[in-house]
């Protein structure tokens, strides 16, 4: 990780991702790598995330927003009031993401929290990203497996196709 962090060019933010990590691991990563942003994907509370004194993003699984009457999403947003943004993904809270599975976009909390920067993740690729941005209007998008030829192997061609749909020229 240190070799990768040393290669991050100027004006690009480095992010350290954690899933229910021990505090000591997060502190070690911060001291060794000094990431610009922390990203938490587990059951971490707002107090846990804030204790590190770094800007952070909190990933939230679909179980928090598929039933708007439960207001689980509202409670999570309140608990993480200082988060820089919220990554809404197709997995359940605390589960591993990166499955390439798209959740039912009808559950997207569009307009419910107008000042909250939501990041769309889960099952995105060049065939659906244009529709996703147009219909859901997320603050940002997060893609991984949708631009891979095999697990963990990114494709320059797929990344370019994806980016052309995100930011079409003309």
| DSSP states of 34-83 | --SEEEE-SS--HHHHHTT-S-EEEEEEGGGTS-GGG-HHHHHHHHTTT-
Q: 3-53 pLDDT, tens per residue?
A: 999 999 999 999 999 999 999 999 999 999 999 999 999 899 999 999 999
Cβ-proximal residues to 115 (8 Å cutoff; 6+ apart), any chain: none
Q: 58-105 pLDDT, tens per residue?
A: 998 887 777 777 888 899 999 999 999 999 887 666 666 656 677 788
| DSSP states of 102-121 | PP-GGG--TTTSTTS-EEEE
Q: Decide if 99 contacts 68 (C-beta within 8 A).
A: no
Instruction: Pick 152 or 9 by higher pLDDT.
Output: 9
How far apart are alpha carbons 157 and 147 in whole angstroms?
Answer: 8
CATH topology of domain 2-97+104-122: TIM Barrel (3.20.20)
Domain borders along the chain are 2-97+104-122
pTM of structure: 0.86
């Amino acid at each position: 990780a240190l070799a990768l962090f040393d290669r991050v060019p100027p004006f690009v933010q480095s992010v350290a991702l954690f899933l229910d990590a021990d505090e000591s691991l997060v502190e070690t990563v911060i001291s060794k790598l000094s990431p610009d942003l922390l990203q938490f994907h587990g059951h971490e509370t707002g107090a846990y995330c804030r204790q590190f004194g770094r800007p952070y993003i909190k990933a939230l699984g679909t179980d928090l927003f598929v039933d708007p009457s439960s207001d689980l999403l509202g409670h999570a947003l309140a608990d993480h009031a200082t988060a820089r943004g919220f990554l809404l993904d197709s997995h359940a809270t605390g589960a591993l993401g990166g499955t390439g599975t798209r959740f039912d976009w009808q559950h997207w909390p569009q307009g419910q929290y107008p000042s909250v920067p939501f990041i769309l993740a889960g099952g995105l690729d060049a065939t659906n990203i244009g529709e996703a941005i147009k219909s859901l209007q997320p603050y940002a998008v997060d893609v991984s497996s949708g631009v891979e030829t095999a697990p963990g192997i990114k494709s320059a061609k797929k990344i370019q196709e994806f980016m052309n749909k995100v930011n079409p020229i003309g």
